[in-house]
Amino acid sequence: MKEGFYTALGTPVDNNGNLIADSFQKHVEEQIEAGASGLLAMGSMGIEPYLKQSEYRKIALAASETARGRCPVLVGVMDNSIARVMEMIDSLEGLHIDGVVATTPFYYSVTQEELKKFFSEIADRSKYPLYLYDLAVVTKTKIAVGTIEFLMQHDNIKGIKTGDLIAVRELSRNCRWKDDFAVIYSGLDTFDAAWQYGVKMNLDGMFSCTPVTTSKLYKSLEQNDFEQAGKYLDEILTLRNTLVEVGVFKGFTCAMNILGYEGSFAPDYTGEPEEKDFDKIRQCMKKCGMT
């Protein structure tokens, strides 16, 4: 796992919920060409909890085969019990992926002691390295710093994705990171500030629809040109805010379609974007130099 941007891929599906393979392969290829340091298939932006079970392995296989080892590929395994998560992990057997990513259970709130058991047992049984996904805004349960410090001692738990910069700073300040434990920051609004602090692995779903701008952003960060980096980040945030106005997944579908990726990138109950939605997203992307 190296420094740079990690893209949470979108998942293009047709009206029956089936993967549109050509669109997805193009998406993976163009992210690698843009310089992505790694890819997350079927994260939250990749609508993993909404996908048909029949498509799950197909999507992971398509990501792995298209990447062809050019960058790490992680696969989401978010679910509400150890048994269900392990069922997904077992379905990935034989695929050349670099790890699986699990959130806390999200149907009911759980305690930190239950989280320790949940993640530890998955790590014990998984043939792939496990990465923790701290997404409390969705799951209702935050992974506390003490729980992270406990879990990072497990040989098969290799990192965490979190938007909590305070937790990242606390782990860093206390010098408790392991050499083989990656802390991947997902607080999009402060990626440039986090980079200056030394947090140089960032993951977000917005990178899916901003590959050219994201590439420029991270080249600027690597050159310590923080003024220019801030401008590129502002453009990504402007598009993010416009997606929110339209409806996140509906707007995301518009943006991906405008970039030439066929299919819906939204849960099936979201509904089709209207022409006014496309117009609003198109105008924003043009203004930000993304089309």
Helix, strand, coil share of the chain (percent; to 5): 50, 15, 35
* CA separation, residue 267 to residues 51, 52, 143 (Å): 8, 11, 26
Per-residue pLDDT tens listing for the chain (291 residues): 899 999 999 999 999 999 999 999 999 999 999 999 999 999 999 999 999 999 999 999 999 999 999 999 999 999 999 999 999 999 999 999 999 999 999 999 899 999 999 999 999 999 999 999 999 989 999 999 999 999 999 999 999 999 998 888 887 766 566 678 999 999 999 999 999 888 899 999 999 999 999 999 999 999 999 999 999 999 999 999 999 999 999 999 999 999 999 999 999 999 999 999 999 999 999 999 998
The widest CA-to-CA distance across the chain, in whole angstroms, is 52
Which DSSP letter does residue 264 get? B
Q: What angle do CA 184, 189, 190 make, to 5 degrees?
A: 60
| Contact residues for 198 (Cβ-Cβ < 8 A; gap 6+) | 172
Q: Domains in the chain and their CATH numbers?
A: 4-224 (3.20.20.70)
What is the number of helices (H) and of strands (E) in the chain?
Answer: 12, 8
pLDDT of residue 170: 82
pLDDT of residue 176: 60
Among candidate residues 262, 265, 245, 255, the one with its CA nearest the CA of residue 209? 255
| Orientation angle between helical segments 53-67 and 21-33, nearest 10 degrees | 40
Structural element, H or E, at residue 168: helix 165-173
Q: What's the alpha-carbon Rg for the chain, to the nearest Å?
A: 18
Three-state SS annotation for 113-136: HHHHHHHHHHHHHCCCCEEEEECH
> In this structure, how many other beta carbons lie within 10 angstroms of the beta carbon of residue 111?
10
pLDDT of residue 175: 56
pTM exceeds 0.75 for this model: yes
User: β-pairing, 182-185 with 157-162?
Assistant: parallel
What are residue 126's phi and psi, to 5 degrees? Answer: -80, 140
Q: Where are the alpha helices (DSSP H) in 68-108?
A: 82-91
pLDDT of residue 172: 72
